[in-house]
A and B are shown apart, each in its own frame.
Chain A
Amino acid sequence: MENLKYSEILAQNQILRNTVKGIPYRISVLSNVTINSLKEILEYSLRVNQINPSIELGNYDNIIQDSVRYKDSDLVVVFFDMLNVVDSVSTFFEDINDELYNNLKNRICAEIDIIIENLKDSPSVIFNSFSSNYFIPNYTQKTIVETLVIELNKYLEERKNINISIINIDKIFTKIGIKQAIDFRLYNSSKAPYTLSFLKNYVTAINPIIYKNTGKLKKAIIFDCDNTLWKGIIGEDGIEKIDMSISSHFGKFYNKIQQIAVFLSKRGVIIGICSKNNESDVTEVLLNHPDVILKDEYIAIKKINWEDKTSNLLLIASELNIGLDSIVFVDDSSFEINLIKEQIPEIVSIQVPSAIYEYPDFLLQYITNYFNLSLNSEDAKKTIIYKQQTERESDKKNHKSIDEYLASLNISLTISVDDLSQIPRIAQLTQKTNQFNITTKRYTENQILNMINSVHDNVFAVSVADKFGDNGITAVCIIKTDLQNKKKCNIDTFLMSCRIIGRNIEFVLMDYIIGWLISHNFTTVTAKFIPTKKNQQVQDFYSLNGFALIKKESDYKIYSIELSKYQPKNISYISINFKELK
């Protein structure tokens, strides 16, 4: 992105405009400077990732009014720039007295409050940090503008709601240099301070937020072994000669890669291995090599054999039950990388750089762009959960019928409704679940919060445990009351994580939801099915539950059932605990 020329971005963007369709992702950019060159760069970066953008630029220096006008956008980006603030003061800024300083600071804080208030129900907001880096620095003491910037950033940090992400633009200035980032000539003539270089880097900086909101984040990173996780080739050099030692000249970079992989594994990223080797050799290294950091316990899946890597990666995707576009693949061989790029273009393939000292940073760059590195307790347990899944698969073979097998698992569900403490996990599930997801509506934490707080909406979160362990919150159902007729309601969202598919949990949950609705005096429920490339497995879900098809369009179907006519499945081997909080 940063290496692509602007004219190429514009040309590519025009081509992609005709091919990337789908529900538009609406972004509004509010600013007190001219920022219009951002539009095409941002459009391009979304289209490359198969997101159809609809971007509107607010009026120049009109953030407050625009924050009302654009509050319903999927994403609001706010450029509240110090350059223009300083220009609005007629006195030389370093000479302003305390009274003027306080007036100015209070005015900006009040404006921040208004913007935050106006955007409080927006799904997602990006606010740039304030910066003083445009101005001549004093190397020994703080300038007035620096002091103001520090106070404003502190204020913004304290006041921000959960829907706001702050982008620290000083980090971009540091990366590319202020002279490469700011063009005072165009600021002077057109109030357009930012260079193309800044804008390209800015788009890279906000991309992970957009990927998160649109379900485009990656889930797994699959490593080759020889010259990717360690220096040397087991088959040629022997186990004792391969190098991943933190104290050796080259080995330390591979050691760092393993440290990064462990770090990712702790944050819920699936770590896998796909290598052409003898399986026993690699296993020996992972279990017993004195310098190994990425031990076997961190690795959720291994394909170590002499088959081609395309087949192995396809197998990995199907066994983990994740899409190909959720996978990043790292290998040192240009042959393998090009093969995968050609045969499975959905996978992001990364070749280990030939200058090995660049390798850790090179990988980290991809990771910050494509993975969500928040650490919540669900994520930390994920490797264990994926391992348990493999154990369950092998246990399956010991039981004759699938029902016998399921009964032997001692599955229990804990269902909560409107539990504020589960917001991050619920939002994450709506953003990441693709297969068992009947409407595939993506919600941010703020949207979930609003639904939980609303008397008309109910958010059910289901955690699932069995004799092999606790899967945590893995299913979500959202019910919205029909505001015209309070006896009717609609199933807005019904989703389950792929790790609990195939255990009839969906039927138990449906029985439960219907029962809950009856006890809350509803008589009819409607439900929409929106097909996507990935959710074919749920296309008959409502028919299977006795719902009648009442409307069929090319891009959705609507079902309905009178609650009194619902036939419960009464699956006895799954138990339910319930906690209601509202």
Chain B
Amino acid sequence: MENIKSQIIKVMSAVFEVPIEDITETSSVDSIDSWDSLKHLNLILALEEEFNISIPNEEVGNLMNYKLIELIVNECRK
């Protein structure tokens, strides 16, 4: 579980170009300035590749904070 958390944080840090230590469980579209719609697309692609999952179309728009990302990544890995 910790491993997944650190992997998600690594991906978010790379996509949004912010230091790893600035990303926490409370990070969201409101707390990360560079999180725009184009970066969001990159985030989806990066997460899918990282965890070898396919995020369902209806969830793509929901991944707006760390908690939801973790939830859906775990859901997709089942």
**Residues of A that sit less than 8 Å from B by CB:** 5-8, 10-11, 14, 34, 36-37, 40, 185-186, 188-190, 192, 195-196
Contacts and interface: CB of A to CB of B under 8 A. Distances in A.
A186 B59 CA distance: 12
Nearest to A13: B14
A6 B41 contact: no
Nearest to B57: A185
23 contacts: A6-B42, A6-B46, A6-B50, A7-B11, A7-B15, A7-B50, A10-B14, A10-B42, A11-B10, A11-B13, A14-B14, A36-B42, A37-B42, A37-B45, A40-B42, A185-B57, A185-B60, A186-B45, A188-B57, A189-B60, A190-B41, A196-B46, A196-B49
A409 to B, nearest CB: 59
Contacts of B13: 11
B17 interface: yes
Contacts of A188: 57
A189 B57 contact: yes
B49 A37 contact: no
Contacts of A186: 41, 44-45, 60
Nearest to B17: A14
Interface residues of B, number: 18
Interface in B7-32: 10-11, 13-15, 17
B35 to A, nearest CB: 14
A7 B10 contact: yes
B38 interface: yes
Contacts of B37: 190
A289 B74 CA distance: 63
A196 B45 contact: yes
A190 B61 CA distance: 11
A185 B44 CA distance: 12
Chain A interface mostly = helix
Chain B interface mostly = helix
Contact of B14 (A7, A37, A189, A192): A7
Contacts of A185: 57, 60
Nearest to A11: B14
Interface centre among A5, A14, A34, A37 (most CB of B within 10 A): A37
B42 to A, nearest CB: 5
Contact of A36 (B41, B57, B60): B41
A37 B15 CA distance: 10
A7 B49 CA distance: 9
Interface string B33-62: 000011001101110011000000100110
A10 B41 contact: no
B45 A6 contact: yes
Contacts of A8: 14
A444 B32 CA distance: 42
B28 to A, nearest CB: 19
Contacts of B44: 186
A34 to B, nearest CB: 7
Interface centre among A6, A8, A185 (most CB of B within 10 A): A6
A189 B11 CA distance: 22
A559 B41 CA distance: 52
A510 to B, nearest CB: 50
A192 B10 contact: no
B46 A10 contact: yes
Contacts of A190: 37, 41
A181 to B, nearest CB: 13
A34 B46 CA distance: 16
A36 B45 CA distance: 12
Nearest to B42: A37
Contacts of B42: 6, 10, 36-37, 40
Given A7-B11, A185-B57, 15 more contacts: A5-B46, A5-B50, A6-B50, A7-B14, A7-B15, A7-B50, A10-B15, A10-B46, A11-B10, A11-B13, A11-B14, A36-B42, A186-B41, A186-B44, A190-B41
A24 to B, nearest CB: 19
B50 A195 contact: no
A545 to B, nearest CB: 50
Nearest to A8: B14
B57 A37 contact: no
A541 B38 CA distance: 51
A195 B57 contact: no
A40 B42 CA distance: 10
A11 to B, nearest CB: 4
Contacts of A195: 45
A7 B46 contact: yes
Nearest to B44: A186
Nearest to A190: B41
Nearest to B40: A190
Given A5-B50, A6-B49, A192 B41 contact: yes
Contacts of A34: 38, 41
A544 to B, nearest CB: 49
Nearest to B54: A185
Nearest to A17: B17
Contacts of B10: 7, 11
A403 to B, nearest CB: 61
A37 B45 CA distance: 9
A422 B66 CA distance: 60
A274 to B, nearest CB: 39
A190 B15 CA distance: 18
Nearest to A10: B14
Nearest to A183: B45
A37 B43 CA distance: 10
Contacts of B46: 5-7, 10, 196
A10 B50 CA distance: 13
Contacts of B11: 7
Nearest to B50: A7
Interface centre among A7, A37, A186, A195 (most CB of B within 10 A): A7
Nearest to A12: B14
B21 to A, nearest CB: 14
Nearest to A199: B45
A493 B50 CA distance: 48
